[in-house]
Amino acid sequence: MSEVFEGYERQYCELSVNLSRKCNSAALLPDGEPKKQQTSELNVGLDDADVLIRKMDLEARSLPPSLKATLLAKLREYKSDLNKLKKEVNKLALIGANQAAHDLDSGMMDPHAASANQRERLAMATERLDQSSDRIRESRRTAFETEDLGVSILAELHQQRETLLHSHNKLHGVDDAIDKSKKILTSMSRRISRNKWIMGSVIGALSLAIILILYFKLFHH
């Protein structure tokens, strides 16, 4: 996996967990200035998360197709989670605004209703935190699987390289054997040619000797 992408991903996961915790804390705060301040900080954090998402997207699209597809699929999950968190923050701000308007109208909030509302918010906050933890565990698992896949691919490439080198050495040995065979055949051809010349010379000499013998026998008696 790209080290640049991993760096952005690590920053995003840490920021996502931090935002989820802040969102949970803000849900438990009573309506007022502290809650508005917390919501404002959440919006700033969401903007930072958007920047990291865009950086991860650009980095993923610059990688090879096989790795790009995996990272873009993971990035879609991050975008979906971030959109859910944005909705929760917007809902939190909307609830605070509506509750403030209701308090102005009623002059006092029902303690029992407030307690039930806080319990509901606490349950939602706990659920969001659990979901964030699950996402982090899933991201780590995916990272480990991707790392294992990369190691496996490197091992396979190394094995293929060794096979190619072994084949190259075999071909080199075959070339050497062919060169030696050519030299042997050339030497044998030269010997055969030389032997032909010798045999021709011997036959010629014998023929000449026979002719001379016949000549002397026929013309000197």
Taking only the tens place, the pLDDT of each residue in 141-164 is 666 566 666 666 766 777 788 888
More confident residue, 199 or 120: 199
User: Does 101 score more than 50 pLDDT?
Assistant: no
Question: Whole-prediction pTM value?
Answer: 0.45
Separation of CA 188 from chain center: 59
Going from the C-alpha of 152 to that of each of 15, 138, 156, the distances in angstroms are 32, 21, 6
Give me the numbers of helices (H) and strands (E) for the chain, helices first please: 4, 0
pLDDT at res. 51: 92
Evaluate whether 41 touches 102 at the Cβ level (below 8 Å): no
Residue 29 phi, psi (nearest 5):
-75, 145
pLDDT at res. 157: 77
CATH architecture of 1-101: Up-down Bundle (1.20)
Sequence-distant (6+) residues with CB within 8 A of 78 are: 12, 16, 53, 56
**Angle between the N-to-C axes of helices 3-28 and 111-219, in degrees from 0 to 180, rounded to the nearest 10:** 170
Between CA 183 and CA 194 the distance in angstroms is: 16
More confident residue, 45 or 127: 45
